[in-house]
Structure formats: structure tokens, C-alpha cells
Amino acid sequence: MKRTTIKDLAEMLNISTSTVSRALKDHPDISSSVKIRVREAAETFNYVPNDFAINFRKKSSKVIGLIVPEITMFFVPSVINGISSVLNGEGYRFFILSSNDSYQTEKEHIETCINSRVDGVLISMTNETRDIEHLKKLKEMEIPVVIFDKTVSQNMFDSVIFNNQKNTEWSADKLIDHGCQKILAIFGDENLEITQSRLISFKNRIEQHPRIELVTIFCKSADMVKEKLNSLPDYHSFDGFFAMSDETLMGLHSSLIKRNLNNSDKKVVVISEGNLPKYLDDTYEYQINDGYEMGTFAASRLMENLKKGSPDLKESAQFYYL
Amino acid sequence: MKRTTIKDLAEMLNISTSTVSRALKDHPDISSSVKIRVREAAETFNYVPNDFAINFRKKSSKVIGLIVPEITMFFVPSVINGISSVLNGEGYRFFILSSNDSYQTEKEHIETCINSRVDGVLISMTNETRDIEHLKKLKEMEIPVVIFDKTVSQNMFDSVIFNNQKNTEWSADKLIDHGCQKILAIFGDENLEITQSRLISFKNRIEQHPRIELVTIFCKSADMVKEKLNSLPDYHSFDGFFAMSDETLMGLHSSLIKRNLNNSDKKVVVISEGNLPKYLDDTYEYQINDGYEMGTFAASRLMENLKKGSPDLKESAQFYYL
DNA sequence: TTGAAAGCGATACCAG
DNA sequence: CTGGTATCGCTTTCAA
């Protein structure tokens, strides 16, 4: 089905394509009589500007690529909502690329972004990712990048992460203040930067109280939490639990209710992405790391970078704590 | 930063752009010696084909638009995963547009899809949507559409939904077979088509057993479930519970554990989107409405429509039950 | 086996 | 105020 083009309109009205183009975008040079005729014609013939042609001409796609390590129910949906709200407001769209926890896939997605000429990239990295080699091409191409949540240490791109130290210490203090004597702390994937930083802060804080006994376990998934807890010999002796994420919490919660340990005097403190908490157990305490907020923040930083244009003007990469 | 183009390569190698273009895509006409030289040059000068130009030329974006009523943690993530797995395999990308439960926004998103010349549209509708008027333009433009999960009755576009009757009857039978005598059934928003159809099937089935007492409640959110249950006078007298979705289940679960009614002999049966179940309580029984499956199925149908090309050949819209 | 050239649709510069 | 024209990068006949 042939779609109406500017040229079609021009021929119908016996004027030039330039005039039609300008009339359509309300250029001040054009007489209002012409504008009216053009707009009417556009309306009747169902003219839809061809974004391909415009992108091609303008070398800007108004599209940004969102690369996430995996699409889970825990964090990603709220992040997407946050990103949406910012990008839609700015007339941008985005496509989602899930790395499925594979560094290789992540790398390919970056190629995809380059090929499809996205205007910018928002990325949260996989557990396997150790450096930013694969991102350097984006830098060369002068495609703005903002890394969020899961990152590796680097100073080439803006990044926004939660304030792990603050959140973790808050959590540790809750358990300490509650008078817990034996604490089980459940962390995520041991290889992740985020896990390590939370681990260190948590340990430091707890170790200031030598009488408190601390056991830490690392679990890549909620299922693994369940498994490990089930084979924990002295489960009942713990009087305090810490989970570093919604996912680890899920495993813990599942395990606690199975043993009828909910509604007990055990203290549970969680750093949570914020979706689940209100449905699990009123007695758990949460430090919320809001995905929506992170989404809006990261997207806003990207928009700023986009507008800054010439990147020579751009100061070096910045680190933001949420 | 100037990016290498085919023209650049052609000039460097003193051959024509046509030859370069063909060499790059391994056209049989081109001698292998030329191919090698071209590929080497492309490699060294970091040539990246310009998708804008290609799309423009080919009039195909390899992009499809995904419109969802809202981005929740319950269903959407798995649907997205399903869609991803199919589309990425076919070299397509997609962008996500969330209608935020607003018909108006949904309508705008459809315009967005048309303007950005997506090759196809996958859509799940808002609660406010009553007809497909706003989709007709897509038909005119010959953009293939597949409607999934939330739809209205129509016969213009392919659609894929869960088999509510089957799933609901299965659930009712579970409770009946377990010997439940007093059942509390929790449904979602009373205005939704999906709620009504599940309600009717459920009731019909239970009413075949006159001795069973059935109480039904409608709740727009998990929080409302919690509220209503908390003010239920004879809570303990129920020996069977039905929740029509993960969201209603969340409220029920929250309420059950609060009263220490988990791990009891109460029977809980749920029609679930499938993400949460394994983390809540092993004793609940689930009929899984798998979002991943729906995603792959809907995306596959869309791909088929895309390939069928000339739509005169296409038979009328089809309805699929999952 | 290769090259020349047209053209996809919109834009913007330069002229008038 | 309006028109002519080159151009973006690539693909694809048509010729050679």
C-alpha cells in the first residue's frame, strides 16, 4: 500500500516539496493560505511523515537501547516504568535487550545498538561482565551511555547505583538494635560488585559488636537460598536474618513459612527493590531501593548527555548514588 | 565523528559502491578476491552498515511495537521474555509502550507505532478499551497485529488468550475433589471480561455440588484482598480458597500467613501467571497461565503474518486458546 | 564480474 | 514567501 509522501502532496497542490515540508512544520516563511491548503491535503490523504527518511536525514533515531542482564519480576519492571516515563516525555522510544546473564549476549546487544544507530544506551551488566572493553566502541562512536545498578569499576561512563554502604549499614543497625545475637545474612552472586560492597559494609558494621555471631551465605537465585537454608543444621538458632534483595528474600520467606518461623520473634531485615514487601509479612523490615526512581534517574542522566551534544564539552564520567 | 560508509570503502579500493555493497553481503556475482579486499577494508576501517539507510531503502524496520496496559511484576516480564526469544531469533527488535491503563495513551501509542513504521504490533489492551476502532488504521496500513491476553471481541486481528473456562474448571475441580465444603473465591476487577468469564465458569462448576458453600469477593488489588479478608468474620470456617490471579493470591497469602493459616489443612488453588508460586507455599496448587508461553506464541503468530506478506492471501483473523 | 545511475522521502541551503 | 536542487547511505536494476 503506497503511503502518501510530501512529493505526492506537492504534485496535487502544484507547489514544491520544500514548500510542503515547511508548511507542515509551520515554518514562519510560509503564507498561512498555503499552510492551510497543505494541512488539509495532508489530512485528507492521510499523510504520515516517514520516520525512516527523517532519521536518515537527521542522523538521529530518537531511540535508545536498554540492555539488562535478565528480565525478572523483581527489579526490571519498575526500572522500565521509570525509564518509560522519562523517555516518552522526551519523545524517545527504547528497545529492550536482555542479555540472559551472558556476557557474550551483552556484547552482541551492544553491536545491535550500534548497528541500529540508537541515540544512547542504558545498561545494567551481567554477572559475567568484568570490564567495559565491549563498551569502548560506543565511546568511539560518541554514543552516550549510562550504566545503572549493576556495574564494574570504571570511570568512562556515567553510572548510577544505590548507596550500598548506607543501605547495608541501616539494615545491620536494625538487627543490632533489635538485640539479635546470631545473624544469618543472605547475599546474592558472590562475583557481583554489588554483593561484595554490601557484604563488606554489613560485616564491618556487625563486627563492631563482637558478641554477635554472623553467618553469611551466597546464592545466585531464590531457589538456591531455599536449598541452602533447608540444609542448614542450626536454622532455629538464628534470631536475625538479612536478605540483600527481593530475590534472596523470596527464598528466605519461603523457607521461613515452611518451618512456621514467620510470626515468630525472629527479626528479618531486607534491602528490597520494593515490589514484593507489602505482600509477604508485615513484620519484616525493608530498606527500599526503588527501581522506578533508578529508572527515571538513569534516563534523565542519559537525556542530559544527549543534549550536551559535543562530548568534548562533557566533563569526565560521574558517579551517582541513589 | 564521521562513520565509514560504503562510498568511503569504494573510493579507497577504487571500485564502485555497488561492488562493495554486493561484496559485503557475499553476493555470488562478486569474485572472491574482491570480496576479501572489501572485507578487510571494512574490518580495518570499522565499517558499520547504516540501518537508517537500509530501512529507508527497504521500507522495513525490523522493529515491532509492543503495547501493554501496564508494566507489572506479575505477567509482563515473562511475556517480554517470551517475545524476546522469538523476535531476537528472527532479527527483530521491539519497543515497549505502556498504556498506563489509559485508553487515550493506548491510542497514542498506536500512532507512535505507525509513525515509526514498525513492521508489526503486539498489543494487550487496557481495561478501558471497548473496541478496536483505534486499531483499524493499522489494518489500513497493512501492519500486522496480534492481540494477546487482554482483548475485546472482534474478528479483525489474530488474538491469543488463555482458556479461562478450562483453567477455572480445573481449579474448581481441585477444590471439589479435595472435599472442601466452604470455599472462598477471590476474583479481580469485576468489570473485566476476564473476571466475568472466570466467575461464571467457577460458579457453574461449584454449583453442581449443592452441599458446597461458596462465597465470592472482588478486589481490584492485592491490598484490597488483604483488607476484605481482614474484615471477614468467619475466616477460619473456610476450608478452601480460590484466587484467580497472582495478584489476588498475594493478598490471600499475606492474609493467611498473618493468621498462621499456612501449613494448615486449608486448600488453596490459584490460576497464576507463574512467577511467584514457587516462593510462597508448597501446599498451594497452581494452574499456570504461562506468560512466557503466551509471549512466544503471540510473537510467532506475528512473525507468520509478517512472512505471509501480501495480506489478500491471508485468511481471516484467528483465535487461539492457550 | 563490475560499474553507473536512479531513487527511497525528507530537509536545508541558496536563489530569486 | 516560494522553488530548485543536492544530499543522507544504501540497494538494485540495467548496461557493459
Q: What is the pLDDT of residues A61-91, one digit of tens each?
A: 889 999 999 998 888 999 999 999 999 888 8
B112 falls within a domain? yes
DSSP output for A198-220: HHHHHHHHHHTSTTSEEEEEE-S
B97 falls within a domain? yes
Query: Looking at the structure, do residues A194 and A297 belong to the same domain, yes or no?
Result: no
A304 falls within a domain? yes
B92 falls within a domain? yes
Count: domains in chain B: 3
The owner of cell 526490571 is A76
Q: How many Cβ atoms sit within 10 Å of the Cβ of residue A300?
A: 18
Query: Looking at the structure, do residues B180 and B283 belong to the same domain, yes or no?
Result: yes
CATH number, residue B143: 3.40.50.2300
Range of the domain at A311: 57-161+292-321
Per-residue pLDDT of chain B (322 residues; tens, 9 = 90+): 678 899 999 988 899 899 999 999 888 888 888 889 899 889 998 888 988 899 889 888 889 999 999 998 888 999 999 999 999 888 899 999 999 989 999 999 998 898 888 999 999 999 888 889 999 988 888 899 999 998 888 888 999 999 888 999 999 998 999 888 999 999 988 877 788 889 999 999 999 998 988 899 999 888 888 888 888 878 888 889 999 988 898 888 888 888 877 767 788 999 988 777 777 777 888 888 889 999 999 999 999 988 876 555 456 788 899 8
Query: Looking at the structure, do residues B61 and B45 belong to the same domain, yes or no?
Result: no
The three-point CA angle B194-B198-B203 to 5° equals: 150
Query: Looking at the structure, do residues A172 and A209 belong to the same domain, yes or no?
Result: yes
B1 falls within a domain? no
A1 falls within a domain? no
Query: Looking at the structure, do residues B31 and B98 belong to the same domain, yes or no?
Result: no
Give how far B37 is from chain A: nearest CA, Å. 22
Query: Looking at the structure, do residues A101 and A178 belong to the same domain, yes or no?
Result: no
Distance between CA atoms of A76 and A292, rounded to whole angstroms? 9
The gap between B303 CA and C5 C1' (Å) is: 35
Least confident piece of the model among A117-121, A216-220, A277-281: A277-281
B12 falls within a domain? yes
Of B98, B116, B275, the CB nearest to A73: B275
B52 to A61: CB separation less than 8 angstroms, yes or no: yes
Query: Looking at the structure, do residues A309 and A197 belong to the same domain, yes or no?
Result: no
Nucleotide closest to residue A30 (CA–C1'): D1
Query: Looking at the structure, do residues A32 and A67 belong to the same domain, yes or no?
Result: no
Query: Looking at the structure, do residues A22 and A42 belong to the same domain, yes or no?
Result: yes
Determine which helix (DSSP H) or strand (DSSP E) holds B8, and give its type and residue range: helix B6-13
Distance between CA atoms of A19 and B127, rounded to whole angstroms? 44
Query: Looking at the structure, do residues A170 and A284 belong to the same domain, yes or no?
Result: yes
Distance between CA atoms of B222 and B254, rounded to whole angstroms? 9
CATH number, residue A29: 1.10.260.40
Query: Looking at the structure, do residues B175 and B224 belong to the same domain, yes or no?
Result: yes
- Report which residue type is found at A241: F
CB-CB contact of A167 with A289 (8 Å): yes
Identify the closest residue of chain A to B87 by CA–CA distance. A97
The owner of cell 500467613 is B257
Query: Looking at the structure, do residues A118 and A15 belong to the same domain, yes or no?
Result: no
Averaged pLDDT, A214-239: 86
Q: Residue B21 CB closer than 7 angstroms to strand D?
A: yes
B94 to A95: CB separation less than 8 angstroms, yes or no: yes
A232 falls within a domain? yes
Distance between CA atoms of A125 and B264, rounded to whole angstroms? 43
